[in-house]
Amino acid sequence: MAAPIISSDPLYRLLREGKVAEFNQRIAAGEVVNLQGCDFRHINLQQLQAEGLDFANCYFRQADLRGVDFMNCINFAGASIHGAKISGARFPAEIRAEEILLSLEYGTRIRYS
């Protein structure tokens, strides 16, 4: 598995800078971003509109994901949420609770089909 990346994509940069509302507006306006394999360590992603986004192999170590609805994201396979704040977050229905717990506690990559 490749190391998480810090992309130069301007939309990804908005998230790293804490400008979640601006990111949401630009995505809603039709802009496209590639977030696969990106590094979201220690980033506050509360209020993120995750519908239609691909988080495959992303790294969310100690990120603030409280209240984020990932139910309709394109992909969450291979993501790691080790130590993240996930209160109120919703994950794709295909992901078993055990997978979420293993990733949260031990940093394993989330597997589902």
pTM over 0.85: yes
- The span from the CA of 29 to the CA of 67, in Å, is 22
Identify the domain containing residue 22 by its residue range: 1-113
Residues near 5 by beta carbon (within 8 Å), at least 6 away in sequence: 37, 38, 39
Distance CA 15, CA 64 (A): 12
103: tokens are: 């990733």
Please tell me the total count of domains within the chain.
1
CA 45 to chain centre: 8
Evaluate whether 45 touches 15 at the Cβ level (below 8 Å).
yes
From first to last of its 113 residues, what are the pLDDT tens digits of the chain?
Answer: 677 878 899 999 999 999 999 999 999 999 999 999 999 999 999 999 999 999 999 999 999 999 999 999 999 999 999 999 999 999 999 999 999 999 999 999 999 97
